Chain A
């Protein structure tokens, strides 16, 4: 065994902030890609919505004559809801597995600035979720329009590119929301339960009789998401611009709460 002598002066040069940020990002990047759950959840998040969107589009293409034409962007959005759960779980797991295994103590001992850990995890998970989301959104779009044929729309039509881009952002939003919940709740099952409850239950409020459905539903994450991604937005909800703010407020508020709590509790 070789153990080197300790140098008399152990002064470690303080590296610039950018270097330290890169270090923590590299750490979280390695962690992210070195567990199987990442690959499984991403696979489900990609395959499920693309496959489902083709099926929903086929159903729309063959609806009985005489009915008003459906929103040609709806199949893409509707099937994306099934990716929401997978990507949300990916977000929750980023923190909850560290708390449940106790690994978080090694992490915080290596990086005592806990908000840097939160920021790095959010950056890695968020970047992957955004890229995955856009990939799924655009592939789904082209699959759906191919199935719809003459009922479909072209990407060059005004409003369409924005709506498809917004589809992809939903996965980013949900991943960030899940990550914040994992950090706050520190428990995998609890985090996933909270994720499901907070994303899907408020959407039920939108089904209340008018005018309450719109009044309550406009704040629900999924209703706001639908509003942002629809070709013909609903009139009883917020405008698409305001709905985008509502959509982004969900993860923003959750991450803020997570950032406030992460330094206040014993690890």
Chain B
């Protein structure tokens, strides 16, 4: 279990984490989600005792990380897969970290096999692709067979096969009763991997819910209607109890009436309908709604970009 309690981390004038509290429970893959710069990596660094909190605390199984003895048996983490000495072989890298926690060569070979790195274990990591480095980092995280695992943006740089592999891997880890915290800035990724979501923006907690509940609560359902006599049809729909919102391109977004009802209504009055599309907001949109105000560097809306 990981507990983050009113955590604040300032770097000079910049507040990276601003009073953040959440708990990561065992048996779940918890997605730690937020736009770039939201404070995810900083939070993970504080959990690992690498950065000292300005105030508040982060505890692993009730203890401060720096009080853990042989911490690799308690927490496995992958923060930055490229943080390697390029001249070292994969095996020497993993072995050195293993030795620091009294873990033997047999386990080193085992984690290299588990992550599919056995064949390249004696090559220098300099030539590794980002995907191979991710696997190597995961091998290190697994060394102590820890009950708590943390991964910072682990799918970055992985190919499709690698992403599928890592999803299965996280689920298997959680199914075995482990606590798994995985950060990402991509909602679509987390929707398929995590059963619970902790969403942050600008260092603050935005929501802390089961993934299914977030989808449920934030899904917007409506019907897109296009018609050459849109104005007329809008009046009829409103009269029948529907709510109409005009979209920029002339389409009507209708709630309160479903697609068959709208189609029938149009037919009754002989109004041609060019499009009748039931829509549900994606999780991605739910996430954008949630984090819209907390994106650190916002790109101009396409329409705001001056034309030449």
A residues in contact (CB < 8 Å) with B: 1-6, 10, 12, 14-15, 19-20, 23-24, 26-28, 30-31, 34-37, 97-98, 101-103, 105-113, 266-267
Contact = CB atoms under 8 A, between A and B. Distances in A.
Contact of A34 (B75, B82, B96, B175): B96
Contacts of B100: 23-24, 26-27, 107, 110-111
A28 B49 CA distance: 20
Interface stretch (B165-173, B184-192, B193-201, B205-213): B165-173
B119 to A, nearest CB: 17
Contacts of A30: 92, 95-96, 99
A24 B72 CA distance: 13
B157 to A, nearest CB: 15
Given A30-B96, A105-B83, A108-B49, A1 B168 contact: yes
Contacts of A110: 71-72, 97, 100-101
A31 B96 contact: yes
B102 A15 contact: yes
A31 B80 CA distance: 19
A195 B177 CA distance: 51
Nearest to B9: A266
A112 B88 contact: no
Nearest to A36: B87
Interface centre among B70, B84, B140, B177 (most CB of A within 10 A): B70
26 contacts: A3-B173, A4-B176, A6-B26, A6-B178, A10-B147, A20-B70, A27-B100, A30-B95, A34-B96, A35-B88, A36-B87, A37-B87, A97-B85, A101-B84, A102-B82, A105-B45, A106-B140, A108-B49, A108-B50, A109-B48, A109-B65, A109-B71, A109-B72, A110-B100, A110-B101, A112-B68
A6 B50 contact: no
A34 B177 contact: no
A111 B75 CA distance: 12
A12 B176 contact: no
Interface of B: 26, 45, 48-52, 61, 65-75, 77, 79-80, 82-89, 92-93, 95-97, 99-102, 114, 140, 145, 147, 168-169, 172-173, 175-178
Contacts, number: 125
Nearest to A8: B177
Contacts of B173: 3
B69 A14 contact: yes
A228 B51 CA distance: 44
A194 to B, nearest CB: 22
Contacts of B80: 102, 105
A107 B99 CA distance: 11
B99 A23 contact: yes
Contact of B177 (A5, A12, A102, A103): A5
Nearest to A19: B102
A34 to B, nearest CB: 4
B70 A15 contact: yes
A108 to B, nearest CB: 6
Contacts of A109: 48-50, 65, 71-72, 75, 77, 79
Interface centre among A1, A15, A101, A106 (most CB of B within 10 A): A106
Contact of B65 (A28, A36, A101, A112): A112
B70 A12 contact: yes
Nearest to A37: B87
A14 B70 CA distance: 8
A60 to B, nearest CB: 40
A266 B9 CA distance: 11
A267 to B, nearest CB: 4
